[in-house]
Chain A
Amino acid sequence: MAREQRKATAEKVELRRDVTVWGSYTWGYADVGADIYVALGLVIGAAQGGAPLAFALAGLVYILIGLAFTELASAYPVAGGGHYYSLRGLGDFFGFLSGTALLLDYTIDIALFAVASTGYVNFFLPYVGINLADFVVALGPFTFNALWMGETVLLIVVLLVLNVRGIKESSWVNEVIGAVDLIMEMSIVAFGFILAWRPELLVQQWLHEFPTPDKFLYGFSLAIISFVGLESISQAAQETRRPATVIPRTSIALIFTVFILAVGFSTVGLGILPWQDFAAHEADPIAYLASHIPYLGVLAGPFAAFLGATILFISANTGVMGDSRLVFSMSHFRLASKWFGHVDPKRRTPKNAILSFGSVGIVLAVVAFLTGEFVLDTLANLYAFGATFGYILVYISLLWLRFKDPYTPRPYKIPLNWKWKRKDGTTVLIPILGTLGLLGVVSIFVAVLITHDIARIAGPAWLIIGVIYYAIFRKRNGLPVWGSVPHDWEKEQVEVLTNAEEYELLEQYKQALVKRDHQQGVPSRWEEEV
């Protein structure tokens, strides 16, 4: 047992040293960059001529969310992301709630990206003489595409088998695919603008085909899914060398790259094709757009489809890994049963977590297919619900941790802070942009609830089922349901900074704790170490 622990620790240290600045950037890009492959068709289909505005508005909120994640991930470089920040800032119950919302997102991630990946594979079907529409079948009240559904279920099963057998998401694979995809996406936008873009078409669609307010609101709330995946920044944090230095640089670069590409794609897209074309090609919008670039389209279309299928497959795998990693962390903090955290002794993989949430992913994909032509729409609805709910809790944690834990050094802080001097003489920095970001996320969440028929029922239902499970689990184990079990966060933070090799920050942290203890007139347990 001790030998296994040493081996695991050694492996962890090795992983931490593996991820560099470029690796951290492409790791994030392989996750967030894939979203536009799904979102472009859905958002343009909903927001029509106003799609660039929908992307830009959601993008502004996303930038603020990204800055919050950058601050938290560089201050607390621990895998677990939003769930860990909520646990730390708001206590066990909210840590669980945030974890449940993230579990919904990761599980939807598996289903949505598997559906989208096979959607791009289907781009090639006409080349081999197969017509996808021939496989539409009716079963009672449901009409669905049997071939596409079969491909999706098969792909998820393959992912589960690979993960149970034990594959490690290689940073090197992410780097290569992330870099190729980045070049591809930038090339489509650049060559699209140079060779095919017609500003008059964009203006015509903006002026005469601007959607009704409810449709625009729907498109705006869907546009947030083109930016989901920021969790990967914090997931990578635990495996990044010198995270306090690296994360702010890479995550800010990532945030702006994704924002520019999302706005760029919608602007170039509506200047090349009418919005109705995108709505009709929701399954492969990027490949469809690329195939309409003069001279290059013959090659660019299939290449974009191939790349889309690949990067979406990786993103679906991120969902499987995210689910198992997150539920493992939740069981570690006694928010979920140890059964989920059980590691297969032979293959050393969290088999129970992978198979249980993977199976839910399959069920969700099949149910989404039963909605007929709204398969991607249904999953995207739920994705938007989980993401915005999780982001709200992250924002509240950010604000709360500024009060509760001002001692942890923050290598990066969201710009624009208001200094508030409290009665006890301490100063707290209130993030103005952070507060605006919280309002922005809440507005998207409200828009999701108003406009998404499925999300407003299925999303809260998922959370309620989770809370019932949590209450039963905690009661059975003699733990408080609404309260928290004692955590030694100071000791944990010291260990985190030590493992991250952030010795300068570690020193600052201990000094701040000693100063606090002196002010309170109590002996400090950190005094000897400073």
Chain B
Amino acid sequence: MRRRTVPPPERLTLADVAHFVLALLMVPLGVVVLVRTWQVAPNALGILVGLAFIGFGVYRLGQAVIRYIAYRQKKGGNVQ
């Protein structure tokens, strides 16, 4: 399978910041869901939803950090 490498961003846009903030909010939301489920009525559905929010949030945060590092490296390279 041929995959295209996503080029590093040219500049940080409002959309990038929005993605980062949303990813950041997903993690505590997942924790809230997990804690409330565990305290009140432990069940597979609630735990799954909580873990899904945490997992997706962490994945998106990871992606954002990788893109940010690529952006910084590109910016650094351009300066030199």
Residues of A within 8 A of B (CB): 21-22, 52, 186, 190, 193-194, 197-200, 202-203, 206, 244-245, 248-249, 256, 260, 263-264, 267, 409-411, 413, 415, 417, 429
Q: Judging by beta carbons under 8 Å apart, are B46 and A194 in contact?
A: no
A193 touches B32 (CB 8 A): yes
- The 5 residue pairs across chains A and B that have the minimum distance between CB atoms: A200-B41, A199-B41, A199-B37, A203-B41, A203-B43
CB <8 Å contact, A194 and B32: yes
Apart from A194-B32, A202-B41, A245-B4, what 14 extra A-B contacts exist at CB < 8 Å? A22-B15, A186-B22, A193-B32, A193-B33, A197-B33, A197-B36, A199-B41, A203-B43, A203-B45, A206-B43, A244-B4, A260-B56, A267-B49, A409-B2
Known contacts being A199-B36, A413-B1, A417-B1, is A52 close to B45, with CB within 8 Å?
yes
Q: Please, could you name 18 A-B residue pairs with CB atoms under 8 Å apart, sorted by A?
A: A186-B22, A193-B33, A197-B36, A198-B40, A199-B43, A199-B46, A202-B43, A202-B45, A202-B46, A206-B43, A206-B45, A245-B4, A245-B6, A248-B4, A260-B56, A263-B52, A267-B46, A415-B1
Q: Number of A-B pairs whose CB atoms are under 8 Å?
A: 57
Complex formed: what's the CA distance from A43 to B6 in Å?
38
B20-49: contact bitstring with A at CB < 8 Å (1 yes, 0 no)?
Answer: 001001000100110011001101011001
How far is it, in angstroms, between the C-alpha of A52 and the C-alpha of B44 when the chains are bound? Answer: 12
From A267, which residue of chain B is reached at the shortest CB distance?
B49
Judging by beta carbons under 8 Å apart, are B32 and A200 in contact?
no
Residue of A nearest to B32 (CB): A194
Task: For residue A47, give the distance in angstroms from its CB to the closest CB of chain B.
Answer: 14
> Across the interface, which residues of B come within 8 angstroms of A409, CB to CB?
2
A429 to B1, CA, bound (A): 9
Interface of B is mostly: helix
CB distance from B43 to the nearest CB of A (A): 5
Minimum Cβ distance to chain B for residue A1 (Å): 40
Distance between Cα atoms of A206 and B44 in the complex (Å):
11
A193 to B22, CA, bound (A): 15
Q: Tell me how far the C-beta of A139 lies from the nearest C-beta in chain B, rounded to whole angstroms.
A: 45
CB distance from A436 to the nearest CB of B (A): 17
Closest to A256 in B: B56
Which residues from chain B contact A267 at a C-beta distance below 8 Å? 45-46, 49
A200 to B46, CA, bound (A): 10
| Cβ contacts under 8 Å, A411 to chain B | 2, 4
Q: B52–A260 contact, CB under 8 A?
A: yes
Q: How far is the CB of B46 from chain A (nearest CB, A)?
A: 5
Whole-angstrom CA separation of A249 from B7 in the bound complex: 12
Give every chain B residue within 8 A of A417 (Cβ-Cβ): 1
The residue on B at minimum CB distance from A53 is: B45
Please name all residues of chain B whose beta carbon is closer than 8 Å to the beta carbon of A199 when the two chains form the complex. Answer: 36-37, 40-41, 43, 46
Give the residues in chain A near B41, CB-CB below 8 Å.
199-200, 202-203
Q: In the complex the two chains form, what is the Cα distance from A244 to B6 in whole Å?
A: 11
Chain B residues, Cβ within 8 Å of A197: 33, 36
| In the complex, chain A residues whose CB is within 8 Å of the CB of B13 | 22
B31-80 residues with Cβ-Cβ distance < 8 A to A are 32-33, 36-37, 40-41, 43, 45-46, 49, 52, 56
CA distance A415 to B13 in the complex (A): 30
Q: Which residues of A contact B29 (CB under 8 A)?
A: 190, 193-194
**How far apart are the CA atoms of A244 and B33 in the complex, in Å?**
38
Bound Cα distance A239, B77 (Å): 33
State the CA gap A206–B15 with chains docked (Å). Answer: 38
Please name the residue on chain A nearest to B5 by beta carbon: A245
Chain A proximity of B21: nearest CB distance (Å): 11
Separation of A194 and B50 alpha carbons in the complex (Å): 12
A187: nearest residue on chain B (CB-CB)?
B25
Which residue of the partner chain A has the closest CB to B28?
A194
From known contacts A193-B29, A199-B36, A203-B41, infer whether A264 and B4 are also in contact, taking CB-CB under 8 Å.
no
Q: Are A190 and B49 in contact, with the CB atoms below 8 A?
A: no
CA distance A256 to B55 in the complex (A): 13
The answer for the CA separation of A245 and B52 in the assembled complex, in Å, is 28
Contacts of B56 in A (CB 8 A): 256, 260
Residues of A within 8 A of B1 (CB): 413, 415, 417, 429
Q: How far apart are the CA atoms of A267 and B47 in the complex, in Å?
A: 11
Residues on A with C-beta less than 8 A from B46 are 199, 202-203, 267
Inside 8 A of B43's CB, which chain A residues have their CB? 199, 202-203, 206
- In the assembly, what is the distance between CA of A267 and CA of B43, in Å? 12
For B1, give the chain A residue with the smallest CB separation: A413
| Chain B residue with the shortest CB-CB distance to A189 | B29
Q: Chain A's nearest CB lies how many Å from the CB of B41?
A: 4
Among B2, B13, B15, B49, find the residue whose CB has the most chain A CB atoms closer than 10 A: B49
Closest to A415 in B: B1
Q: A410–B36 Cα gap in the complex (Å)?
A: 45
